[in-house]
Chain A
Amino acid sequence: MTDTILQSRNLKLYYATRKGVVKAVNNVSFDLQKGESLALVGESGCGKSSLAKAIIRLLPRNIATYTGEVLLEGQDIMKLSDTQFRRQIRWKRISMVFQGAMNSLNPVLKIGYQVAEPLLIHEELDKKEAKKRAVEALRIVGIHESFVERYPFELSGGMKQRTVIAMALVTNPDILILDEPTSALDVITQANIMNLLKKLKKEMQLSYIFITHDIGLSSELADKVAVMYAGEIQEVADADTFYAKPAHPYSQKLMASVPTLRTEKKPEFIPGAPPSLVNPPSGCKFHPRCPSAFDRCSKENPPVFDLGSGHLVKCWWYAK
C-alpha cells in the first residue's frame, strides 16, 4: 500500500578537524515511506543534523568521507553531480526547515521574495506568478498577505518559523526535513507549529524526516522512530511499538530520563557522557554506559537484528 520514497544505505559522512576525523554519520541505513514521518531522535552531538545535511548534500568545507547510497524512488542521488543535484533534488524533491529558523532568512531581502525564490529558480515562473504562489504558501501557514513586503526583522519568532515552513512548501516537494524546527520557540508556539505540521502532512501527503532531541516532542509527528547514538542508528521501530516497548538499552534509558507531567514515574538519568565522535568506544558505542553490557559488547560492533515487522535494533542482546 505504501511505497518507499527514500532509502539510505550505509551513508557515511566524516569531517576532518584539527583533533582528528569526526565520524558524524557512520553507516546509516533507513527507509522512508511515502506520506510517512520518521522521527530521528538523539542527544546533541549524535550526528542527527549531519545526517540531514548528508541527505540534502549540504556539506561543510572540511569534509573527509562522504559515501553510501541515497535512493530517491530508486534513483541513487549520490551519483548526481552537484549542479544536477541542485537543479533536480533541492527543494524540487526535498526541502528542509533549519534548526535556526530565526537565522535562516536573509535579513536584507523581503519575506515575499524569499518565499518565492525557489519558484523563480526551479520552476522559472515569472515574478507575478511566483509572488501569487508565495502569498498562497504564506496563507497556508497562517501569515497574512501584508507581510509579503516586510523584512525578517519585523516578524516575531513564530512568524519567522512559519515563513521558513512556507518557503519549504512552496515548490510542493515530496520530502520535508525538519531539523529541530521548534527548538527556539515557546511551548505554546511550538504546539501551534506542530499542529500546522500535522495538518500539512495530512493535506499535502508529505513525508517528513523530523529531527529532535526531545522524545516527547518526537511523538507529535512520528509514524516511525529512529534513535541515533554516536553517529549510528541504534533502533528503528514504528511509533506504537517504540513508545510502548523500546528495545535498545539506550532507547530505554532515554525514555526513562524524560520527565512527564501526566504520569507518576520518576525520571532516571543515564550515567556517563556521550562518546566523542573522533575516538568512539570499541564494539557497541553505547557499551560503556550500558547497564546490560556483556563481554561481546565491548569487542564487536553489533549488527542490526530484526525483531519482526520492521523493528530493527543494533544490540547484542538480541543475538540468537
Chain B
Amino acid sequence: MAVKGFAKFVAKRVLTIFLVIVIALYVTIFIANMGGVVDEIVKSTIKMEVAMRFRGPEWQRYDPEEREKLMLQEYELELARRGLNQPFLIRSVIYLWNALTLDLGRAEYLTSDTGSRYVRNIILERLPTTVMLFTTATVLNFLINMAVGLYLSRHHGSKLDKFFIGMAPTSVIPGWFYGIFLILIFASQLHILPYGGLVDVEIVKTRDPFLYAMDVLKHMILPLSSWIISAFFLGCYSNRTFFLIFSTEDYVEAARAKGVPPRQIETKYILRPSLPPIITGFALGLINSWSGAIITERVFNWPGLGTVTYAAINLFDSAVLIGVTVIYAYLLGATVLILDILYGLIDPRIKVQYGR
C-alpha cells in the first residue's frame, strides 16, 4: 500500500476522532457545570482561601464590617483572576482547553499514592493497573472464545455444541456479578485466594520484585476469572455461529471443492475474510472492559481508575470525576482509532481506495 495514501487515511481518521473527543469533553464540562457544580466548588474553595487570609492577627484591628467588605473585594478579584466572572461560554472554552491538555486541576480530597493532589497524577498513577487487568481479561477472553468457537464449529451438532447453545443465555450476567460469587467461594469459604486488592502489604514489605509480581498475579486470578466466566458461553457460542454462517459462503464451498485442506479453509477462507467483524468485536470488548472496570474494581477493590472513581463519588470530588471521564474519552478514542487503522491494513477495499 502506498504510504502516502495510508497516511492520508490515518490523518483523516485522527481528525474525525479528535473532533468527537472534543465534543465529548465539551459535553462533559457542560454537564458538570450545568448544575453549577464546578463553578460552585471553585468559588467556595476561593472563598475559603480568602477567608483564611483574612483571619490573621493583622486584620483583627479592622472593623468587622470593613473587613467583610475588603474580603469581598479580594474574593471578586480572585474570581476575575481565574476567569470565573466571565460568561459560561468563555469559561467552558477555558475548561475545554484545560481538559484537552490534560490539565485537570487539583483534587479536592483525594491524593495520589505519592501524595500529589493533581488530578492528572492521581489518574495516571491508577491507569496502568486498570489497563493491565482489563486488557489481559479482554485478550484472554478473545483467545479462549475464538479457540473454543472454532472447535465447536468443527464439531457442529455435537453434545458439547448443544451444551454451549443451552448455556449461552447465562452470559447476560456481568463479570462483576460473578465476581461476588467467586469471592464468596474462594475467599470467604475456602480462604485460598484474596478478597481483593492489588497486592498484600506483607509482600510489599519484602521488596522482592518476583514475589511482588507473583502476588499481583494471585490477586488477578479472581477478577480475571469472573470476566472469563461471564463471557465464556456466549462468546464461544457467537463465534461458533459466526464461523458457521461464514462457512456457508459460496467461496468457502468453492475452496472446499478445490480440495483446500480444512485447516487452510479455516484460516484463509473463514477467518481472513471475517477479520473485520472479529476485530470490531475485540475492540468493542476492550471498550466495554474499560467501562466495566469501574464496577469490577469496586467489587474486587482493585486499585485502578474504577476505585478512584468510587472514592471520588463518595467524597464528591468532582475534579477527579471529570478527569476520569476525560481519560475515558481519550482511551475510547484511541481504541477506535487503532481499530480504524487495523481495518485499513486488512481490508483490501480501503487498501486499494487509498493505495492506488
Footprint of B on A, CB under 8 Å? 56, 58, 61, 86-87, 89-92, 95-96, 98, 100, 103-109, 117-118, 121-122, 151, 153-154, 164, 167
Contact = CB atoms under 8 A, between A and B. Distances in A.
A153 B251 contact: no
Given A107-B251, A121-B261, A58 B256 contact: yes
Contacts of A86: 259, 261
A61 B245 CA distance: 12
Contact of A118 (B249, B256, B258, B352): B258
A154 B259 contact: no
B151 to A, nearest CB: 16
B318 to A, nearest CB: 49
Contact of B249 (A87, A103, A164): A103
B255 A90 contact: no
B272 A117 contact: no
Contacts, number: 71
Contact of A104 (B250, B346, B347): B250
Contact of B352 (A90, A91, A154): A154
B272 A108 contact: yes
Interface residues of B, number: 25
29 contacts: A56-B257, A58-B257, A61-B156, A87-B259, A89-B259, A90-B257, A90-B258, A90-B259, A91-B257, A91-B258, A91-B259, A96-B254, A98-B250, A100-B250, A103-B251, A104-B254, A106-B255, A106-B268, A106-B269, A106-B273, A107-B251, A107-B273, A107-B348, A108-B346, A109-B268, A109-B272, A117-B258, A121-B260, A151-B349
A89 B257 CA distance: 10
A62 B352 CA distance: 39
A61 B260 CA distance: 18
Nearest to B157: A61
B81 to A, nearest CB: 60
A121 to B, nearest CB: 6
Contacts of A153: 348-349
Contacts of A107: 251, 273, 348
A118 B249 CA distance: 19
B49 interface: no
Contacts of B249: 103
Given A92-B259, A98-B254, A108-B347, 6 more contacts: A107-B251, A107-B273, A108-B348, A118-B259, A151-B348, A151-B349
Contacts of A164: 254
Interface in B305-356: 346-349, 352
Contacts of B261: 86, 121
Contacts of A100: 250
A8 to B, nearest CB: 18
Given A98-B253, A106-B251, A108-B272, A121 B348 contact: no
Nearest to B273: A108
B258 A121 contact: yes
A307 B348 CA distance: 57
B257 A96 contact: yes
Nearest to B272: A108
B130 to A, nearest CB: 35
A122 B260 CA distance: 9
A121 B257 CA distance: 12
A89 B249 CA distance: 22
A13 to B, nearest CB: 15
B89 to A, nearest CB: 49
Contacts of B349: 151, 153
A96 B352 CA distance: 30
A153 B255 CA distance: 18
A46 B250 CA distance: 20
Interface string B106-125: 00000000000000000000
A104 B249 CA distance: 8
Contacts of A118: 258-259
A104 B275 CA distance: 19
Nearest to B252: A106
Contacts of A105: 251, 254
A108 B278 CA distance: 15
Contacts of B250: 98, 100, 103-104
A47 B95 CA distance: 71
Contacts of A98: 250, 253-254, 257
Nearest to B256: A58
Contacts of A109: 268, 272
A108 B348 CA distance: 6
A117 B250 CA distance: 17
A164 B253 CA distance: 13
User: Quick one: which of A58, A92, A95, A108 has the most chain B CB within 10 A?
Assistant: A108
Nearest to B253: A58
A98 B346 CA distance: 27
A304 B271 CA distance: 48
Interface in B262-311: 264, 268-269, 272-273, 275
Nearest to A85: B259
A125 to B, nearest CB: 14
A178 to B, nearest CB: 13
A156 to B, nearest CB: 15
B191 to A, nearest CB: 49
Contacts of B269: 106
A89 B259 CA distance: 8
B98 to A, nearest CB: 45
A314 to B, nearest CB: 30
Nearest to A154: B352
Nearest to B270: A106
Given A61-B156, A106-B269, A117 B251 contact: no
User: Quick one: which of A95, A117, A167 has the most chain B CB within 10 A?
Assistant: A117
Contacts of B251: 103-107
Nearest to B346: A108
A107 B254 CA distance: 13
A118 to B, nearest CB: 5
A109 B157 CA distance: 30
B248 to A, nearest CB: 9
Nearest to B276: A108
A239 B348 CA distance: 46
